[in-house]
Structure formats: C-alpha cells, structure tokens
Amino acid sequence: MSVAESFGSNVFNLAVMKERLPKDTFKSLKKTIKDGTALDPNVAEVVANAMKDWAIEKGATHYTHWFQPMTGITAEKHDSFISPTDDGRVIMEFSGKELIMGEPDASSFPSGGLRATFEARGYTAWDPTSFAFVKDNSLYIPTAFCSYSGEVLDKKIPLLRSMEAVSKQALRVLKFFGTDATRVVSYVGPEQEYFLVDAELYKQRKDLVLTGRTLFGAKPAKGQELEDHYFGAIKERVSAFMKELDEELWKLGVLAKTKHNEVAPAQHEIAPIFSTANIACDHNQLTMEVLKKVANRHGLVCLLHEKPFEGVNGSGKHNNWSIGTNTGVNLLKPGDNPISNKKFLLFLSAVIKAVDMYGDLLRVSVATAGNDHRLGANEAPPAIVSMFLGDQLTSVLQALKNGETTMDEVIAVLETGVESLPVINRDSTDRNRTSPFAFTGNKFEFRMAGSSQSIAGINIVINTIVAETLSMFADRLESAKDVDAEVMAIVMDTIKENSRVIFNGNNYSDEWVLEAERRGLPNLKTTADALPAFVSEKNIKLFEKHGVFTETETRSRYEILLEGYSKTLQIEALTMLEMAKTEILPACIAYSSEVIESVAMKKSMGLSVPKQEAMAEEISSLTESLICEIDALKAALDAVPEKGALETAVYFKDAVIPAMESLRATADSLETMVSKDYWPFPTYEDLLFNV
Ligand code: ADP
Ligand code: MG
C-alpha cells in the first residue's frame, strides 16, 4: 500500500463518513465537526451503526471511549460489540447511546477533591470534532470526561472551552477589520523529543523502570561535547524504528512529518504538521503511546521523561501555536509590511500583553517535577517567561515607539556567494533557541513544555490569556469613536506597558537573570514555587470570566498538580533508597573487601603499597558516607509533614531533594572507583551508546 493509501486507513474520517453515511446525516455531522455547532441527536444512531460496521471490517471486536483524565495520559475501557440472541448466539451491536455517552467507574482518577469515591459516577461524552479510529482491535471514540454534577474531570473539555473563548474574543476584534470569518481556530504543532535505550539494559535499572529516569549514574567519558549527534546520520536500528513509527502514525491519521537526531546521544525528535489544538492534543497523546509500543517491537524502550540522564540534555516539547480564521487567514502573519498591517499589530500586541500579564500561568502550565530538571539548566529556557520577536518586529515596534508609521520594506535575500545555489529569501526572524516564547515567522513557539506532558494544559493557558487581552482590546474598540486611532493607541499602550517581557538576547546567560529581576519578571524556579500562582485571585477570575474553569475546578487542579509533584518525588526517593541499600551498598562492600584483603596480603609479605592502601581507605570511607546518606534520606522521608498539599510539596523541595542529591553524589563517586564487574547495573555509557 502506498503512503497516500494507507494514511488515515484506520480513521473514521470525513472521506469514510461521506462514503458510508446517508447524505443528510453526513451533512449534519460535518457541520458539527467544521463549525462546532451542536450535534443533532438523531444522527448518533446512524453514525454508530456505520462506525461499527466499518470498525468490524478493520478487525475490531470492541469499542472504547477514549479520554484524557488529569493524570496527563489517556484512559480506555473496552466493551465488546457482542449482544446475545435467543438461540444462544451473538450479533454485533453498537447503539447511538453507547456512542454518545459512557459511564466508566471514575473513582480512581485524580479529581483534586471534586468527587469523593462514594460518589464515583463519571461520564464520558463523544467529541465528534476528533475522529474515531481503530487500534489494537478496538474502535476508539475520543470523548470528554466529567462528573455526575457536571464538574470537569479531564483535560479535553477545558481545552475545547479555551478554544471557544479565544474564538469569541478574536471575532469581536476582527469585526472592526471587516471579515467573513465565523470562527477563529487555534492551531498547534508540537515537536516531541525522546530518548531510545536498549530494552535489556533498561530492565536492569530499577530507576528507569519505576521512575522513567536514572537516579544514579556517573558522567561518562563522552557525553554530548562533540555535538556530533544533532542532525547526525540516523543509525540503522533507529531508522527501522522511525520508519515503522511513521507508518503506524500515518494509519491513525497523525500527520507525522519530521524526524531527526537530537543534541544528546540516543535522543531524537518527531514533529507532525500542525492541526487544530484539540486534534493536536489527541494526536500527541497517540504519538507518545505509539512511540513506546513501536520501540518495544525493536527491542528498545522509549523514554519520554524530561531528564532521563544527568549531564546531557533533557527532552522538551516545543508547542508551536497560532490562531487563524475558518476562512484560512493566519492572524499572526506579518505580511510584507508589518508596520502598516494594523490587524497583525493588534493580534501581536494581544500575545505580547498576554505573555507579560500572565507569565506566571505559562510557568504553571509547564511545572512538573520532571521539568524542574530542565528549566534553567542551560539547555532549556530558564524558568523566567519572556518573548523573542526577532530583529524585524523589534525594529517595527521601535519605529512605532518613535512615532514613525512607515518603514522601508526589506525582503532580505541570503547571499551564499555561490552562483549555482538558488537565491534564498531570508526569514523575518533568525532562530533563537534559548527563548521560552519565540515568534517564528507566523506563529509562536512555546519551548518550556516538558516532553512527557499533555499539551492540553499549555494550550488551555495560551488560548485563555490571549482571549483575555483580546477581550480588553475589543472593549476599547467597541467604545471608541475613531477605531483606526484606537487600534494604534492600543498597540502603543502595549509597547509602553508590556515590552519588558520582550528579550531578544541569550536567555541562558546569568546577565539575563539579573536583568529580568530588574524588569520585575517573576523567576519561579521550581514547581513548588510556581504552582501557587495558579490560584491567585487574578488567575481564578481569568478562568472564570472565560468559562474555562470554575473556581472549584481551578483549585482542584492545583491540588492535583501539587500532589503529583510530591508523589513523584516520593517514588523517586524510595527507589533511590532501595537501589542504594540493596544494590549499590553490597557492591561497594564486596569490592572494598577485595581491595582491603589484597592490601593486607601484600603488606603481610612486606610489600609497601601506600597508594593501594589509600584507595582502600577512600572506598571504605565513601561507603560509610553512603550509609549515612541513606539514613539521612530515610529520615527526611519519615518526617514528611501531613499538613496541606503545598506544605508537603515545599518540604519535598527543601528537605527531600537535597538528601537525594547528596546520596547520588556519593554513589556516583563510588561508581568511578568500583570495578565494573561489581557495579550492579548498566552505566551511562552502556545506556547512551548502545542503540
Ligand atoms: P522548526 O524549524 O522549529 O522545526 P517548523 O516550521 O518545521 O519549525 O515547524 C515546527 C512545527 O510548527 C511543526 O509541527 C509545524 O507544523 C508547526 N507549524 C507551522 N506553522 C504553524 C502555524 N501556523 N501554527 C501552528 N503550528 C505551526
Ligand atoms: Mg522548533
């Protein structure tokens, strides 16, 4: 089968619907999908039947509502299509009701206190805007998930709500520019980074199996210093994996487009072509799942953790975001002459103002225990939220500030000095890899997200904060006498009030940290520092105003995030203790005994071996330290306060993490001294250079 034929072959997409549904049903469903209008309940029965027949032809025996609870991953529960008949046989059935609604027992999903386990009812509702698909002999129906009392229990409903919010406010603004658009859509293209390690080696490391990252490991002789992996030729085993990955994703209708080696050894990236934010979110979840599954088929394990290895780059997820009309106009496209493109300037201002006013929320949206290892570690943007606009737009804003309204149009041409090479039009921005929120020509790239995160939360925040600044602008325009003048006044005010958030320099530098402090930009270093901003009055009001979260929903999500942080650290600390006590310590004792015995023997023969004696002493004393640090970490864990979720999170940050770090430092020193024959698990070198 060619790629064009196999693409989407497991998806109940518009082409299949058109082929299999009666004309009226198709038209009605298509309207819901394209325009977001309410679903006509009569169509469900017909659609369900057509879906079932199609899925059975694809080998499906079961169906499942597929949803995205607040765990950040997806959930599914499979029911078969069978229905008994009087004569002891079965027929395959699937009703409209079963398509539209499901009722999984929801008691074991995190709800942040929204739902006590004794009232465990949760409902899933079909999201017709995301296509159903067949995978592993089941029909998957994308759904939203809420509680009996209507509180939202998932990441999808608020994402859809935030898309509505930004659409509504953008249309209010667009009205003043004359438009036939009836909807504004947020688009997302997430670039996904990951590591591949050999499955046999992976299994020998309890830390990788239980926590997804290495909790011990001395730096290998070679890391990423030579920068020879980035965009390097792809090894055969990895290439075979990537080929199958693409094929699987294409069948599921995921627009997998780009693949390459990343900076760290064993690190890679896959990126799709962008799509609407909710589809991008579903597809990114599928991508993460398929990455893991296909890796296993190749004797590999795919690590999605933000920081699998200390000392080499971690993994992020670049969230490329833009908004456009349903008539196909990208509202963030500067055009040839941005200074006179008022519509663009206004939408650009909305984003600048949003990032400045709500940088704290953007920081919250990427706050996880795993991501704390990246942000600010000179490999990812720092924890300070700022924006990069590039030379062209910065000079446009500068000119406007100076009262100019025209600029020479510059279409820069790239001169290579080689006649035979084609002349290349230069992009309006160069790349700045260090900025957390960078303008990249006709979209913004938010680079702080962690590789294992759902992209729902990030886009909920981006959509909502931009909805808010657009609504402020719309209020002004709606009461302005001279709209044209008001547009420019809004742009000028934004430049005046919010340009502190713009920084085009090196975000990794120490000077920027100081400069950002002078500008009054928050620097929320860890998850425990960042999360409280989620429930500030200003942010609770924001989500309420735009119908994205009620106050109760915001507070419950805050609790879930805090608990997630503490639980992750608890599991990591316990895993460290086990490895240290039952694997590392016995190895050190055994090896030091061997060295000591050999020294004793040599000395009894009258040989002078002061260096070997010193070595024996050092290993012994480090082993003693190891025991002390094991005890200290254990004591820290025993003393976890049982107060509020925030106190617990802060305690983990202040008391448990430092104890984990000291234990690791000692163990890693021992690793460099103990014979490899004794060391109980694969080293960094084994893991990073064996795929
Ligand atoms: P890079 O050079 O950073 O890899 P690309 O242009 O290849 O940038 O795009 C990276 C991601 O951004 C891809 O997923 C791409 O589809 C997505 N993208 C491109 N244009 C837009 C847009 N207008 N809105 C959202 N995402 C976009
Ligand atoms: Mg990019």
Per-residue pLDDT reduced to its tens digit, 656-673: 999 999 999 999 999 999
Cα 189 to ligand 2 centroid, rounded to whole Å: 9
Residues in the chain: 691
138 plus 249 within the same structural domain: no
With the most atoms of ligand 1 within 8 angstroms of its CB, the residue from 320, 347, 435, 437 to mutate is: 320
210 plus 294 within the same structural domain: yes
Query: Which residue ranges of the chain lie beneath pLDDT 50?
Result: 117, 411
Secondary structure (DSSP) of 445-475: EE---BTTS-SHHHHHHHHHHHHHHHHHHHH
Residue whose structure tokens are 């390097």: 232
Give which of 35, 32, 30, 25 is closest to 14, Cα–Cα: 30
CB 317 within 8 A of CB 190: yes
136 plus 226 within the same structural domain: no
- Measured by CA distance, the residue closest to atom 13 of ligand 1 is 189
Q: What is the CATH number of the domain that holds 310?
A: 3.30.590.10
Alpha helices (H) in 605-656, listed in sequence order: 610-638, 645-651
144 plus 15 within the same structural domain: yes
Instruction: Name the β-bridge partners of 64.
Output: 78, 140
Whether 537 is covered by a domain: the verdict is yes
pLDDT recorded at residue 32? 87
pLDDT recorded at residue 42? 84
For residue 321, the ligand 1 atom closest to its alpha carbon is 25
CA angle 662, 667, 670 (to 5 degrees): 130
Running DSSP on this structure, what letter comes out for residue 652? I
Cα 304 to ligand 1 centroid, rounded to whole Å: 21
CA 591 – CA 679 distance, rounded (Å): 9
Beta-carbon neighbours within 5 Å of ion ligand 2: 318
Cα 308 to ligand 2 centroid, rounded to whole Å: 21
Q: What is the pLDDT of residues 570-587, one digit of tens each?
A: 999 999 999 999 999 999
Cα 331 to ligand 1 centroid, rounded to whole Å: 15
148 plus 166 within the same structural domain: no
CA 335 – CA 247 distance, rounded (Å): 36
7 plus 105 within the same structural domain: yes
CB 642 within 8 A of CB 190: no
For residue 190, the ligand 1 atom closest to its alpha carbon is 14
CA 399 – CA 396 distance, rounded (Å): 5
Whether 641 is covered by a domain: the verdict is yes
Secondary structure (DSSP) of 5-39: HHTTTTB--HHHHHHHS-HHHHHHHHHHHHH-PPP
With the most atoms of ligand 1 within 8 angstroms of its CB, the residue from 258, 274, 432, 462 to mutate is: 274
21 plus 130 within the same structural domain: yes
Instruction: Show Cβ contacts of residue 523 under 8 Å, excluding neighbours closer than 6 positions.
Output: 382, 383, 384, 513, 516, 517
Whether 560 is covered by a domain: the verdict is no
3-state SS class at 271: strand
Whether 65 is covered by a domain: the verdict is yes
170 plus 134 within the same structural domain: no
CA 403 – CA 419 distance, rounded (Å): 41
Q: Which of 491, 523, 549 is the C-terminal boundary of a domain?
A: 549
Cα four-point dihedral sign 173, 179, 184, 188: negative
Cα 533 to ligand 2 centroid, rounded to whole Å: 28
Cα 575 to ligand 1 centroid, rounded to whole Å: 39
Whether 200 is covered by a domain: the verdict is yes
- Measured by CA distance, the residue closest to atom 11 of ligand 1 is 189
For residue 442, the ligand 1 atom closest to its alpha carbon is 23
121 plus 205 within the same structural domain: no
Q: What is the dihedral of CA 667, 673, 676, 682, to 10 degrees?
A: 30
Cα 523 to ligand 2 centroid, rounded to whole Å: 24
Whether 215 is covered by a domain: the verdict is yes
Cα four-point dihedral sign 634, 639, 645, 647: negative
283 plus 429 within the same structural domain: yes
Whether 557 is covered by a domain: the verdict is no
Cα 306 to ligand 2 centroid, rounded to whole Å: 17
> Which tokens belong to 549?
């979260």
Q: What is the CATH number of the domain that holds 610?
A: 1.20.120.1560
Domains contained in the chain, number: 3
CA 675 – CA 584 distance, rounded (Å): 12
Q: Return phi, psi of residue 69, to 5°.
A: -65, 180
pLDDT recorded at residue 115? 60
pLDDT recorded at residue 421? 67
Whether 413 is covered by a domain: the verdict is yes
Domain around 662:
565-688
CA 583 – CA 564 distance, rounded (Å): 28
Kindly list the protein residues whose Cβ atom lies closer than 6 A to any atom of ligand 1: 187-189, 191, 271-274, 320-322, 330, 442-443
pLDDT recorded at residue 425? 60
pTM score of the predicted model: 0.94
With the most atoms of ligand 1 within 8 angstroms of its CB, the residue from 443, 455, 458, 462 to mutate is: 443
CA 548 – CA 189 distance, rounded (Å): 22
Q: Which of 120, 154, 188 is the C-terminal boundary of a domain?
A: 154
177 plus 319 within the same structural domain: yes
Q: Which amino acid is at 13?
A: N
- Measured by CA distance, the residue closest to atom 14 of ligand 1 is 189
- Cβ neighbours around 199 below 10 Å, total: 13
Cα 439 to ligand 1 centroid, rounded to whole Å: 11
For residue 272, the ligand 1 atom closest to its alpha carbon is 14
247 plus 114 within the same structural domain: no
Instruction: Show Cβ contacts of residue 680 under 8 Å, excluding neighbours closer than 6 positions.
Output: 583, 584, 586, 587
Q: What is the dihedral of CA 635, 637, 642, 643, to 10 degrees?
A: 100
pLDDT recorded at residue 420? 65
Q: What is the CATH number of the domain that holds 102?
A: 3.10.20.70
CB 309 within 8 A of CB 684: yes
Q: Which of 520, 549, 578 is the C-terminal boundary of a domain?
A: 549
Cα 284 to ligand 2 centroid, rounded to whole Å: 16
For residue 271, the ligand 1 atom closest to its alpha carbon is 14
Which of the ligands is closest to the CA of residue 320? 1
Running DSSP on this structure, what letter comes out for residue 412? -
For residue 320, the ligand 1 atom closest to its alpha carbon is 26
